Amino acid sequence: MLDLLVVGGGLAGISAALAAGQTGARVAVASRSWGATALSTGALDLAFTPALQPQARRADRSLRDHVEDILAHRPRHPYGGMGLATTLASLAEGYAQLQRAVAGSGLDLDDLNLDAANRPAASSMGTVVPAGSLFAPHRGLALDAGGTVGVLDRPGDPTFAAASLVRGLTYDVRRFARPPRFVAVPCRMPTLAPVAQARAFDDAALQQAFVAEISGHVADLTGLLVPPMLGLQEVA
């Protein structure tokens, strides 16, 4: 007999299941599909409202500022029913829960600072997204320090068109004081359907072949933007 059924296997559902499980509850997670987690940029959007986008000669607003603006102008937002103190405490508690869960996995998270600003990060949609925090493998996609970000270019991939992504990201960062560069990184590996590709990437030989093919193109990059390429059993 279960104590709790969590509906949804995304980041929020998994975090809720982890928190409940640590209290001793018997928990099951129900998910209808692969969900959007596999398409994640690695950026955690903890609190963001476009009204507080930094303007010229104006300091970046903190995560706390964004929460306050959400509470003031979007009362139907989930934060709206909790109030400022509970929202901030819940953000810190939930983040710490996730931080402990991923510690040592290679997806480690930095400590949360609610008085820091969102960091701009490159996304696989060809846009810049606000990141309250980034998982360790994705920190090279943060765009607030200049540098050069690569975009994997696989011929025949209709879901990840490198040239279009490079154009979109280059347009999005034109306002930056030190805009990063975006370059296509060629890769001749065949494009497969998502599940077939995930199964293929359980093969260590394929993982090594992929690394060998792109290694000569990534030495000077600060980050590399790729489509979801995780194995079903093993992390590529």
Residue pLDDT, tens place only, 86-98: 999 999 988 998 8
Contacts (Cβ under 8 Å, ≥6 apart) of 140 = 147, 149, 221, 222, 223, 224
Q: What is the pLDDT of residue 56?
A: 42
Mean pLDDT computed over every residue of the chain: 85
Q: What is the pLDDT of residue 232?
A: 66
Interatomic CA distance for residues 103 and 62, integer angstroms:
25
Interatomic CA distance for residues 17 and 236, integer angstroms:
25
Structure tokens at 3: 């104590």
pLDDT tens track for 45-83: 899 888 766 554 445 789 999 999 999 988 888 888 888
| Burial label, 132 (beta-carbon count in 10 A; 0-12, 13-18, 19+) | buried
Q: What is the pLDDT of residue 156?
A: 78
Q: What is the pLDDT of residue 35?
A: 59
pLDDT tens track for 6-33: 998 777 788 888 888 888 899 998 887 6
Predicted confidence (pLDDT) at residue 209 exceeds the cutoff of 80: yes
The radius of gyration of the chain's CA atoms, rounded to the nearest angstrom, is 19
Going by pLDDT thresholds of 50, 70 and 90, the confidence category of residue 5 is very high
More confident residue, 44 or 156: 44
Predicted confidence (pLDDT) at residue 38 exceeds the cutoff of 60: no
> To 5 degrees, how large is the angle CA 154–CA 128–CA 86?
130
Helix or strand run (H / E) with residue 92: helix 83-102
| Cα dihedral value 132, 134, 140, 143, nearest 10 | -10
